[in-house]
Chain A
Amino acid sequence: MKQFLGFIKKEFYHIFRDRRSLFILFGMPIAQILLFGFAITNEINNVDIAVIDLSKDATTKEIIQKIAASKYFTINQFLDRDADIETAFQKGKIKAVLHFEKDFSRKLIKENNANLQIITDATDPNTANTVTNYITSILQNYQQEQNKDVQVSYQIIPQTRMVYNPELKSVYMFVPGVMTIILMLVSAMMTSISITREKELGTMEILLVSPLKPVLVIVGKVVPYIFLSVINAIVIVALSIFIFKMPVQGSLFLLGVESVLFIITSLALGILISTISSTQQTAMMISLIGLMLPTILLSGFIFPITSMPLPLQIISNIIPARWFIVILKGIMLKGVGLSFLWKETVILVVMAIFFLVLSVKKYKIRLA
């Protein structure tokens, strides 16, 4: 046991004396969370739009005012001619143009039908989509207000309610994803690099010739990273609670246990990578391309799994992050417990055991 503690102490010397690993360990999680939380967002705020109002009557004024009053849009300019639209878009400042046809008010009242065209800059399809949706809903809202007194024989009024994230805050979506990526990065990449480093320097050989048991060598390399990953998980959750006011509806304890489970799965992958690579660079490349990319792309963090082509959907099943993100969202946003998340949990446990057994086997083969 004393030997083992000495080993762990040595491991911390390595970590704390290497600025690069210190940065990856502590700078990265904080930077990523802040970046995703503040800068990268699907919400729209104060989007600049332009208006062409060919009728300039009471109705169009009301509508324009209503749109300008919302926090989502700012009326940047009024255009006079259709020909100006192209130039306005090319300048790049405005994202949408509202085009009211001639005699808007009169047509609306007389013919019950007036045309308002929404033209959006779709170089960024996501924003264009969101902008269109927001404007449409403002218009519907306006119509409902106008029709309050009118008796319609029948009508369907959809009552939409967005549950679990009523304000559609994108940070709620990013936190679980970023947490998953950071834990994967720290656990898998850092351990695989630190183990291959010993191989590269020849110290691994010395350790294997020493009375220290081979399994203890690996456990000793891994334990500091479990510790650091747990600290990282705590920092990320704390940041999201205190800075982004993200609720944790479910049990913090369960969140902790599930995180440790995911950390162990990632560590096992890290050990596995270290057994198949002989240099630190190889270990890093395999971790980045073999683990990080699929984790980012196929875990459902950014791209919804259900809209992927079938082969990718199947592949996504073998990615531990996919299941962990479901667990995280479940606990943090929906507040559900193990009774709803047991399936994902069991999958992670099985993966952890599978990778651990596989890496121990590989490790032994290398020794023989």
Chain B
Amino acid sequence: MKSDNIIEVENLTKIFGDFTAVNAITFTVKKGEIFGFLGANGAGKTTAMKMLIGISKPSSGKAIVAGFDVFSQTEDIKRNIGYMSQKFALYDDLTVKENINFFGGIYGLSKKQITEKRQQLVKELGLESIVNTLVGSLPLGWKQKISFSVSLLHEPKIVFLDEPTGGVDPITRRQFWEMIYQASNRGTTIFVTTHYMDEAEYCDRVSIMVDGKMEALDTPKKLKQQFEVDTMNDVFLKLARG
């Protein structure tokens, strides 16, 4: 593994019965990079991501995440990555504070570490007034921000974001990407799937999956040049329509 690659994937394949969900994809993600993982619904994004975060066993191929093998070292992978799903899954019937304490706890942080992290978070996000509020009563935008911060609690090397901006308004989306940039500046690698093509422009590099295969992988700028179009949207349309 080259020292500046945090994810190395080679011919990774997942077959369900006689359906090939992910067909021999190969790519690398560099340390500290914001890596956009694009594809239409059903293109195999989620399946590929599940293999990388250690909750789905690949059928064949090779993949190293944060220095660990996805076949044999899933426990080590889990300790070194963060994950946020499109459902911003926090516990609605727990307060913000209790959620932070719980998720800090299952990642094995000490009480002292959790308290420090929590206070820091409260200050950064301005959560003073809602820290003891049940998460269920907060607006979606807040849930999303807190959910992202919680996925970073244990200072993972990479954070996987599965359609993190689904269902929120453009302003909140914008603010969220600022949080992503901040995390990236602190050295965290970001692996993000999205449907929004304007968000693809924010990524350092973008890959596009079509029918289980990885059809394109480059910087947004080069992809646009390569397909001779002006926006990532057009790149996507050209690829997806074949």
Which residue numbers of A lie inside 8 Å of B, CB to CB?
A: 2-3, 6-7, 9-10, 13-14, 17-18, 201-203, 205-213, 367-368
**In the complex, which of the residues B83, B89, B105 contacts A6, with contact meaning CB atoms closer than 8 Å?**
B105
Inter-chain pairs besides A7-B105, A202-B85, A211-B79, 15 sampled, C-beta below 8 Å: A6-B102, A6-B106, A7-B102, A7-B106, A9-B102, A10-B102, A13-B94, A14-B91, A18-B93, A202-B89, A206-B89, A209-B78, A210-B78, A211-B75, A211-B106
What B residues does A210 contact at CB under 8 A?
78, 103, 106-107
Q: When the two chains form their complex, are residues B101 and A6 in contact, meaning their CB atoms are under 8 A apart?
A: yes
Pick from B78, B85, B87, B94: contact of A211, CB below 8 A: B78
Taking CB atoms, residues of chain B closer than 8 Å to A368 are: 56-57
A–B complex contacts, Cβ < 8 Å, 25 sampled: A3-B105, A6-B101, A6-B102, A6-B105, A7-B105, A7-B106, A10-B91, A10-B98, A13-B91, A13-B93, A201-B87, A201-B91, A201-B92, A202-B85, A203-B89, A203-B91, A205-B89, A206-B83, A206-B85, A206-B103, A209-B53, A209-B55, A211-B75, A211-B108, A213-B75
- Asked if B81 is at the interface of the complex by the 8 Å CB criterion, the answer is yes
Main SS at interface, chain B: loop
How many angstroms between the C-alpha atoms of A368 and B93 in the bound complex? 30
CA gap between A7 and B107 in the complex, in Å: 11
B residues in contact with A367, CB < 8 Å = 55-56
A201 touches B83 (CB 8 A): no
Which residues in A have their C-beta under 8 angstroms from that of B235?
none
Q: Of A3, A10, A202, A209, which is within 8 A of B94 by CB?
A: A10
CA gap between A7 and B106 in the complex, in Å = 7
Is B90 an interface residue when CB atoms closer than 8 A count as contact?
yes
A9 to B98, CA, bound (A): 10
What CA separation (Å) do A207 and B75 show in the bound complex? 13
Looking at A2, A211, A213, the one whose CB has the most chain B CB atoms below 10 A away is A211
Question: Is B44 part of the binding interface, using a Cβ–Cβ cutoff of 8 Å?
Answer: no
A18, A208, A368 interface centre (most CB from chain B within 10 Å): A208
Check if A14 sits within 8 Å of B108, measured CB to CB: no
Interchain CB contact (< 8 A) of A205 among B55, B98, B103: B55
B54 at the interface (CB under 8 A from A): yes
Tell me the bound Cα distance from A101 to B171 in angstroms: 96
Shortest Cβ distance from residue B86 to the other chain A in the assembled complex, whole angstroms: 8
Select from chain A the residue with minimum beta-carbon distance to B84: A206
A13 to B108, CA, bound (A): 20
Please name all residues of chain A whose beta carbon is closer than 8 Å to the beta carbon of B91 when the two chains form the complex: 10, 13-14, 201, 203
Q: Which residue on B lies nearest to A9, using beta carbons? A: B102
Complex CA gap A7/B103 in Å reads 9
Bound complex: CA of A17 vs CA of B56, how far in Å? 33
Determine how close the nearest CB of chain B comes to the CB of A106; give it in whole angstroms: 81
B87 to chain A: which residues have CB within 8 Å? 201-202
A207 and B56 within 8 A (CB): no
The list of the 4 closest CB pairs from A to B, nearest first, reads A202-B87, A6-B105, A202-B89, A209-B83
The complex places the Cα of A368 from the Cα of B58 at a distance, in Å, of 9
Per the 8 Å Cβ criterion, residues 38-52 of B in contact with A are none
Please give the distance in Å from B65's CB to the nearest CB on chain A.
12
CB-CB nearest in chain A for B86: A202
Give Cα distance in the complex from A212 to B108, angstroms. Answer: 9
Q: Mark B201-222, 1 if CB is under 8 A from A, else 0.
A: 0000000000000000000000
Assembled-state Cα–Cα distance A6/B111 (Å): 11
Question: Is A3 a contact partner of B108 (Cβ separation < 8 A)?
Answer: yes
B105 — which chain A residues lie within 8 A by C-beta? Answer: 2-3, 6-7
Smallest CB separation, A67 vs chain B (Å): 61
Closest to A5 in B: B105
Cα separation A101 to B81 with both chains bound (whole Å): 93
When the two chains form their complex, are residues B90 and A203 in contact, meaning their CB atoms are under 8 A apart?
Answer: yes
Least CB distance, A283 to chain B, in whole angstroms:
18
The residue of chain A having its C-beta at the shortest distance from the C-beta of B78 within the complex is: A211
| Interface contact B53-A212, CB-CB below 8 Å | no
Measured CB to CB, the nearest residue on chain A to B88 is A202
Interface 1/0 per residue, B55-83 and A, CB below 8 Å: 11100000000000000000100110101
- CB < 8 Å neighbour of B89 from A7, A201, A211, A212: A201
Tell me how far the C-beta of A328 lies from the nearest C-beta in chain B, rounded to whole angstroms: 35
Within the complex, what minimum Cβ distance (angstroms) separates B197 from chain A?
Answer: 25
Which residues on the B side are within 8 Å of A211 (C-beta)? 75, 78-79, 106-108
